[in-house]
Structure 1
Amino acid sequence: MFEKMQRAFWKALTPDLVAEESKAVVQPVSGLPANVVDALGGVDNLKSQQPVALTRVRVALRDVARMDRQALSVAGVPGVMMLDDGVVHLITGLQP
């Protein structure tokens, strides 16, 4: 019983780390400001985006080379973490 509760808790906190759940593709621009989308290479460069935590957004890009880190910084994204296969985590911080 405790194990099921613990697993449900971790699924709620980190939905993209649980292998048995299918990942839903979210509309590319929902929740992202236009200047952030532009810095990521435009709407056509986004495959999907998903909030991972209160301070992070996971974005899958078609072409990582089109992303402009300096423009992301100017847009208010304090940190960018590059992962494999065109996945980028935008460290957004707690935004009011």
Structure 2
Amino acid sequence: MFEKMQRAFWKALTPDLVADEPKVIAQPMAGLPADVVAALGGVDNLKSQQPVALTRVRVELRDVARMDRQALTVAGVSGVMMLDDGVVHLITGLT
């Protein structure tokens, strides 16, 4: 616990010198439902996924053009926020 706090402290002071923690590799079984993964363009289109909050998942896509917003809505995703570099935030609950 102390090591994590110490690492966060130094990361805040020197963001360029402390490496980021590794991202979670996308696994459809361990995170997103299969229909959401399909709407995002399939497993091979996912670089990483990371829960950001109780109602939001951050996903990095290889090709944003393969994402189907309508299929995401049908799959239960209530909102999609597009960010730079293929990063997408999926709003997933408590609408």
CA distance in 1 between counterparts of 2:23 and 2:42 reads 17
* 5+ residue gaps, structure 1: 1-7, 12-18
Match of 1:78, as an amino acid? Answer: S
The AA in structure 2 aligned to 1:22 is D
What does residue 11 of structure 2 align with? none
1:47-88 deviation per Cα after TM superposition (whole angstroms, max 9, x unaligned): 000000111000000000000000000000000000000000
TM-score norm. by structure 2 comes to 0.75
Partner of residue 59, structure 1: 59
Aligned Cα root-mean-square deviation (Å): 2.0
CA distance in 2, matches of 1:92, 1:21: 30
Please state whether the residue corresponding to 1:58 is helix, strand or coil.
Answer: strand
Structure 1 residue 93, shift from structure 2 partner: 1.3
**Could you say what secondary structure the match of 2:65 adopts?**
helix
The residue aligned with 2:24 is 26
Identity %: 77
Q: SS of the counterpart of 1:32? A: coil
Q: Secondary structure at the match of 2:37?
A: helix
Quote the offset at 1:26 in angstroms.
Answer: 1.3
Count of residues in correspondence between the two structures: 79
Distance 1:69 1:45, change over 3 A: same
TM normalised by structure 1 equals 0.74
The residue aligned with 1:72 is 72
Structure 1 residue ranges, 4+ long, deviating more than 3 angstroms after superposition: none
Contiguous gaps of at least 5 residues in structure 2: 9-14
